[in-house]
Amino acid sequence: MYIHERLCLWLGHLKLSRVIFAVLLILFVVPLVTHYYLSKYESSSISLGSSSVRHTLDALGDFTTLTAADLKMRIEEMLRIKASVSTELRELEARRGRLQREAAAAGARTDALRAEHARAAADLTRLRVSAEQARIAQLEATRRDSPQLAPPLQLLPSRPPPRLPPPAHQSEPDCRMHSCFDHSRCSLTSGFPVFLYDPDNHAPLANAEVDGFLKTTLRQTLGYNTHLTQKAEEACIYVVLVGEAFPSDSKNPSPSSTTEGYKLVLNETAIRSLPYWGGDGRNHVLINFARRELSVGSGDAFHGAATGRAMIAQSTFTQGRFRPGFDVVTPPALGPPGGDVWADCAPIAPARRKYLLRSRRSVLRESTFVLILAPNDRSYVSTALLQARLYEALRSGAIPVILGGDRVQLPYNEVIDWRRAAILLPKARVTELHFFLRAISDADLLAFRRHGRVLWERYLSSVQASIDTLLAVIRTRLNIPARAAVPAVGAPAFNDSYSPPKLEPPTIDTEPEETLGPLEAPYPSPAYKRNYSLSLLHGYEMWNDWGEPFTLYPQLPWDTPLTSEARFVGSPSGFRPIGAGAGGAGKEFSEALGGDRPREQFTVVILTYEREAVLAAALARLRGLPYLNKVVVVWNGRAPPTMSWPESGAPVQVVRGARNSLNNRFLPHHLLETEAVLCVDDDAHLRHDEIVFAFRVWREHRDQIVGFPGRYHAWDLNYNNGFLYNSNYSCELSMVLTGAAFIHRYYLWSYWRLLPAAIREYVDEYMNCEDIAMNFLVSHITRKPPVKVTSRWTFRCPGCPVTLSADQTHFHERHKCIQFFSQVMGYTPLVSTQYRADSVLFKTRIPHDKQKCFKFI
């Protein structure tokens, strides 16, 4: 038993020794063999270590013959070899990393040098183009054979009209402007000064005082008129308020009373005693704003009276009394003194209303047409009743149908085309009236109604509108320009002693290497060059289509271009034809503006609100932009910080708004000197080629908004409650957002003069929709849609602070804006388009030695 136990113990020790030996063999031999095969592929220095390992392995021989001390020594030696090899491998890996980094840096430097070379080449090309344009400008200045026109000195009379003998009473009906008006008091450069006789001191109507409402209103309205002067000796015309009729005593009628019982006795002695009457009343205007709806034969305050050579302005005229081209037919003073009158108007749509034709006042808003009869007494060409009925019809949106319209005189008809707002028929057509009215299409009905509303709002709606129109008619006869529009003078953001320091902008590698145009010194657009020819050539359009005749503007979107030949023969100054007139592809295109207009630049207007970093980035992106005249920053909110502005390559001027208002975007600042104005948000990212392309497109569509983000007014299919604001991708659009769009400088004035004040107040209340309001205005004036350029639909500004448009209610408020603006204007003036402007040669295959107009557009 004992021998068996000892045998088992010995066998156990033997097995354990074998196990230990096998483990040692695996732990030390296998790494050595692995290292051997790996080290075969290393460098020559490593191969020496590999040879040593092989020698050591061969020397080991049979491990079973080694003692524990020898084996330990061998193992330590192998570990040292392993550590040495690992160190060498790490060093080689580090060296390889360094070489790779050096290669990458060298590649980056190569790319940077290539980009710098491309930029330098582009800059050199721009400099060459700029130098060539400067050379041409110098030659033009040298060859100019006529000096630049400057505004002439104002010529005014220095004394009142001298006293002359009164004309014979029988000669008064023959008065015309050439025979009864003293033009010497109204030189072309006089500015048309107007003097008002104080109604409290001069009341020419006998036995009655002038209506208090009219006296107060006349003072107020003329006080707003820029032509009013307090110096009678320098006046061109003298305005006298006569008043209106009053009931006479029917028991004791006088010879001057009318059959309707209204006494119309003019105190001729009071008229002739006016201090500046001059004996014959030349250059005087006698105004009678009859406010009562009187019957035929009434309302003529001058019946049988001798008025000398004075003009008469009133609603009632007889055939023998009215002097065409001299007297003026005016509407009665039925409206308010002035102000916003949009609430009085009925909507334009639908075209056909409940009733076809009515003559009752109570149902005018439900009638498509309203019947107005000419005076039964054929001796009258106009009556206060006729003018009052016309006024009511236009206000209610009912199209006036005047039977006997071929023999009546309508207000200011020497400048207003009433055929576009009223239907004038001879009384002989009464039997065919129903057929005639039924034959008019819906489009024509809406055109009649829209134009009638425009005429009513602009010339008839208030006493101020009537007074301004009356004076403008007389001034137009004399071909005297209106007073110049007064620009907005914004408060400078900094005092005169502080100038924000300029910083070099960071390098921005987002611009394509492309020559887009010359870099030139700022120069303004020519201004006020059509002062005396505008009313002659475009007087009809001023009164009946675009614009308004009360103010003179530096330029208009509709200024006439020269013919093609004139650019080369006779009037070449300022023109930059492509290829000197021979045309060309991209290279020649980039060197000159071309087109049918002289060279020009544009101004960038940026509206911002306390976002210094965003504004700085926006200014930096403008550096090197061709055709840039200056940058005007409109700063809403607190005073801007004394920060450093990045250098934009053009003058930067910062003005503060009087209050935080989105309407400040469209203030006609005095700093603007170019016709083209690029309105941009501070976070709108536009490439230079996109801006230059849009500018070139705008030059051919000067009366339209030209820009990038397109939007659409879509009909509310769920509730039929009007139009909704739609920003989805669509094959039609009707708006271009003014956060990135070109507009004409004229529309900045129109935004404050022609757009109803209620719309601007709505924009202020909701801090939204000023861009929609501008689209409404331009489409209302032109009846044209905006022009969208390129495929860009929206803007992204990563990292920008929260904007107004990020608010969830912003989008829903824009639905309400469209509906409210439509209610105010009586209709939705937006016009849809399926057109987008892209560059000529866009996607066109051209020879390899040519280039497209724009490489990326």
pLDDT for the residue 804 = 52
Residue 49 reports pLDDT greater than 80: no
Burial class from Cβ neighbours inside 10 Å (0-12, 13-18, 19+) for residue 434 reads: exposed
Q: Which residue has the tokens 């935004």?
A: 751
Please state which of the ranges 12-21, 234-243, 820-829 shows the lowest mean pLDDT.
12-21
What is the distance between the alpha carbons of residues 662 and 667, in angstroms, rounded to a whole number? 10
| Per-residue pLDDT reduced to its tens digit, 559-583 | 999 888 888 888 888 888 999 899 9
The stretch 622-637 carries a mean pLDDT of: 92
Tokens of 476: 């137009």
* Catalytic site positions: 771
3-state secondary structure of 481: coil
- Please report, for residues 707, 790, 792, 803, the alpha-carbon distance to residue 798 in angstroms, rounded to integers and kept in the order given: 22, 22, 17, 12
Average pLDDT rounded to a whole number, residues 164-171: 80
Of the CA atoms within 13 Å of residue 169, those in its CB half-sphere come to 5
So what's the pLDDT on residue 600? 95
pLDDT reading at 7 higher than 60: no
pLDDT digits (tens, 9 = 90+) for 279-292: 999 999 999 887 65
**Using one digit for the tens of pLDDT, what is the confidence trace for 765-809?**
999 999 999 999 999 999 999 999 998 877 665 555 555 555 668
What confidence score (pLDDT) does residue 799 get?
A: 54
Element of type H or E holding 765: helix 757-766
Q: Give the separation between CA 717 and CA 724, rounded to whole angstroms.
A: 10
- pLDDT at position 578 is 92
Residue 267 token pair: 């105190």
> Which residues have C-beta within 8 Å of that of residue 478, sequence separation ≥ 6?
183, 186, 192, 236
Token pair in block for residue 399: 């199209």
Supply the DSSP string of 615-640, one letter for each residue: HHHHHHTTTT-TTEEEEEEEEESSPP
- Please tell me what DSSP assigns to residue 722: S
Look-up of token digits 């006296």: 215
pLDDT at 206: 46
Cα–Cα distances (Å) from 49 to 38, 627, 781, in that order, read 12, 73, 93
Q: What is the 3-class SS of 166-205, one letter each residue?
A: CCCHHHHHHCCHHHHCCHHHCCCCCCCCEEECCCCCCCCE
Q: What is the pLDDT of residue 800?
A: 56
Q: Is the peptide bond before 350 cis (omega within 30 degrees of 0)?
A: yes
DSSP secondary structure letter of residue 149: P
Determine the Cα–Cα distance for residues 718 and 463; give it in Å rounded to an integer: 43
Backbone angles phi and psi of 672, in degrees to 5: -80, 125
Q: Which of 554, 778, 753, 521 is nearest to 673 (CA)?
A: 554
Q: Which two tokens stand for residue 593?
A: 């503006």
Q: Hey, where are the domains in the chain?
A: 28-94, 169-329, 342-461, 528-561+597-837
Q: Strand, helix or coil at 134?
A: helix
**Among 131-145, 333-347, 468-482, 642-656, which is the least confidently predicted range?**
131-145
Task: Average the pLDDT over each of 130-134, 599-603, 710-714 and give the range with the smallest value.
Answer: 130-134
Cα–Cα distance measured from residue 408 to residue 383, given in angstroms and rounded to the nearest whole number: 9
pLDDT, average across residues 65-81: 82
Measured CA distances, 110 to 116, 507, 512 (Å):
10, 17, 18
Instruction: Give the tokens for residue 40.
Output: 């075969």
Query: In this model, does residue 811 exceed pLDDT 90?
Result: no
The answer on pLDDT for 235 being more than 90 is: yes
Which of 38-47, 332-341, 344-353 shows the lowest per-residue confidence on average (mean pLDDT)? 38-47
Please compute the mean of the pLDDT values over residues 614-624 and round it to a whole number.
90
- 3-class DSSP state for residue 123? helix
Give me the mean pLDDT over the 5-34 stretch.
56
Please report, for residues 506, 579, 586, 599, 724, the alpha-carbon distance to residue 128 in angstroms, rounded to integers and kept in the order given. Answer: 25, 15, 16, 18, 51
Kindly state the percentage of the chain with pLDDT values over 90.
51
Work out the pLDDT band at 244, boundaries 50, 70, 90.
low
- Nearest-CA neighbor of 316 among 326, 304, 331? 331
CATH architecture of the domain 528-561+597-837 equals Alpha-Beta Complex (3.90)
- Say which DSSP state 257 is in: B
Q: Give the up-direction half-sphere exposure of residue 812: CA atoms within 13 A in the CB hemisphere.
A: 3
> Which band of pLDDT confidence, cut at 50, 70 and 90, is reported for residue 846?
confident
SS3 at position 775: helix
CA angle 332, 335, 338 (to 5 degrees): 120
> Is residue 149 predicted with pLDDT exceeding 80?
no
What does the chain come to in residues? 857
Average pLDDT, the chain: 84
Residue 403's pLDDT is what? 97
What torsion, rounded to 10 degrees, do the Cα atoms 484, 490, 494, 498 define?
A: -10
What is the per-residue pLDDT for 299?
63
Three-state DSSP string of 698-718: HCCCCCCCEECCEEEEEECCC
Checking if the pLDDT of 834 tops 60, the result is yes
